[in-house]
């Protein structure tokens, strides 16, 4: 496995520019995509890789029974004539899977790329970071994605899966930074929380009277008398999400790993880390899927609740939701870029080197993704809330993109 990791650096402030809409589509299988310039009649039949939807077969694989009417056979023949040329085009569309957070940025670049070049608009699926790596690492060839988006670095277990299936050369490219917010409706008061308070509200086990017990806290005031006497309800991402991985690592683990009760119960550091990452399962933390826009909608209808998602979704919905102040800092573009807002992470794309030169426009797309016009300090991705890399680090990523030779 060949890839390079870059340390997070937050040393410069940036200013945002007005928002612009991001074209989206929801297909019949509940997967969020961008599908510009692809005829609607063929979207699901030919551009969803076979290995992702096991119970769906392309029309040209259907074999009619012998007793079917001649008219029906002629109709199928006509359909096959349309289908086969499209099958031959497999590999002409860049296929991208992964993080729902990175999706917000990649779709913008995909639309720009399709509109401003002679290449086809890439197909982008929001599967979550973990789900994306499973698809990405499943193999090489037209049936498998070219790029996997991620809101964390690739895990050792995912590298092993890739290697097992022949995906041995991968290029890691960082595209910018994002913050994780705990937000609620503007119809309610704004929360000011510490990481310790968040841990005590959401952990599966918490210390009580020197012992670890299943979390008994029902209201925020049970955690701390200074907090509102409001039922704890937090909508958040599932275990396949990189946002959840980052949240438990940046919030839950620091507040847990040195507690005497956890040290006594789990002396092994690796086991203790896993236990610190566990969120309660009694209905106070509610998994809301990979669609962060859905969480924003739930907050509108339930002003008592909080939601966990990326800063970019807050930035696009500032008229209806507000970010909680965490450890004395508000989640803003400037605070995240300076590193003063502590719940922030890097965003990545992983490129399958073996597909460069075989999938049309793959290297050119990555070049556009990290260009100054897209990912630079005043690039169009800042419209969507991406926190840009420092100039020297962006240049490193641009050089890495240029090195993806055919």
Q: Could you report the per-residue pLDDT of 255-311, keeping only the tens digit for each?
A: 999 999 999 999 999 999 999 999 999 999 999 877 778 898 899 999 999 999 989
pLDDT at 339: 86
**φ/ψ bin of 367: left (φ > 0), alpha (ψ from -120 to 50), beta (otherwise):** alpha
CA angle 11, 109, 311 (to 5 degrees): 45
Q: How far apart are the first and last CA of the chain?
A: 19
What lies within 8 Å, CB to CB, of 185 at 6+ separation is: 299, 300, 302, 303, 305, 320, 321, 322
Indicate which CATH number applies to the domain containing 275: 3.40.190.10
Q: Are residues 371 and 395 in the same domain?
A: yes
What's the structural domain count of the chain?
A: 2
* Domain range enclosing 223: 179-344
Domain boundary among 311, 329, 344: 344
Average pLDDT, rounded, for the chain: 82
Residues in the chain, overall count: 406
Whether residues 200 and 242 share a domain: the answer is: yes
Burial class (CB in 10 A: 0-12, 13-18, 19+), 346: buried
Do 258 and 291 belong together in one domain? yes
- Give ∠ CA 147-391-332 in degrees, rounded to 5: 80
The Cα-based distances of 69 to 28, 76, 137, 358 in angstroms read: 30, 11, 44, 42
Instruction: Look at residue 47 in the predicted model and tell me its pLDDT.
Output: 37
Per-residue confidence (pLDDT) for residue 91, from 0 to 100: 64
| pLDDT for res 62 | 35
Asked whether residue 249 is domain-assigned, the answer is yes
**Of 125, 250, 268, 265, nearest in space to 178 by CA:** 250
Nearest partner of 302 among 244, 247, 237, 235, judged by Cα: 235
Given a cut of 90, whether residue 73 has pLDDT beyond it is no
């Amino acid at each position: 496995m060949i890839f390079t990791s870059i340390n997070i650096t937050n040393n410069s402030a940036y200013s945002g520019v007005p928002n612009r809409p991001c074209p989206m589509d929801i297909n019949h299988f509940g997967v969020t995509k961008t599908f510009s310039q692809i005829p609607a009649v063929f979207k699901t039949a030919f551009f969803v890789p076979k290995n992702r939807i096991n119970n769906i077969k392309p029309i040209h694989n259907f074999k009619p029974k012998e007793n079917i009417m001649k008219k029906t056979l002629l109709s199928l023949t006509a359909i096959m004539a349309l289908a086969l040329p499209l099958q031959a085009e497999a590999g002409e569309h860049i296929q991208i899977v992964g993080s729902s957070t990175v999706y917000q940025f990649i779709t913008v670049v995909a639309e720009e790329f399709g509109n401003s070049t002679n290449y086809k608009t890439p197909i982008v699926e929001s599967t979550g970071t973990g789900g994306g790596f499973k698809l990405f690492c499943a193999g090489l060839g037209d049936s498998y994605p070219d790029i996997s988006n991620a809101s964390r670095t690739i895990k050792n277990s995912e590298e092993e899966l890739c290697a097992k299936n022949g995906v041995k050369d991968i290029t890691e490219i960082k595209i910018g930074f994002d913050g994780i917010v705990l937000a609620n409706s503007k119809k309610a008061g704004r929360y000011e929380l510490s990481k310790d308070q968040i841990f005590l509200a959401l952990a599966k086990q918490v210390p009580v009277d020197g012992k670890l017990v299943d979390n008994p806290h029902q209201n925020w005031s049970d955690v701390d008398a200074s907090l509102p006497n409001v039922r704890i309800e937090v909508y958040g991402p599932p275990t396949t999400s990189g946002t959840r991985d980052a949240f438990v690592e940046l919030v839950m683990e620091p507040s847990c790993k040195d507690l005497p009760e956890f040290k006594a119960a789990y002396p092994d550091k690796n086991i203790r880390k896993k236990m610190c990452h566990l969120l309660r399962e009694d209905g106070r933390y509610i998994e809301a899927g990979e669609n962060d826009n859905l969480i924003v909608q739930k907050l509108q209808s339930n002003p008592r609740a909080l939601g966990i998602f990326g800063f970019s979704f807050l930035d696009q919905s500032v008229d209806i939701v507000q970010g909680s102040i965490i450890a004395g800092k508000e989640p803003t573009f400037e605070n995240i870029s300076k590193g003063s807002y502590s719940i922030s992470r890097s965003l990545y794309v992983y490129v399958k080197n073996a597909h460069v030169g075989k999938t049309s426009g793959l290297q050119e797309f990555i070049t556009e993704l990290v260009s100054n016009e897209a990912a630079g300090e005043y690039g169009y991705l800042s419209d969507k809330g991406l926190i840009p890399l420092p100039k020297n680090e962006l240049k490193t990523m641009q050089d890495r993109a240029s090195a993806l030779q055919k």
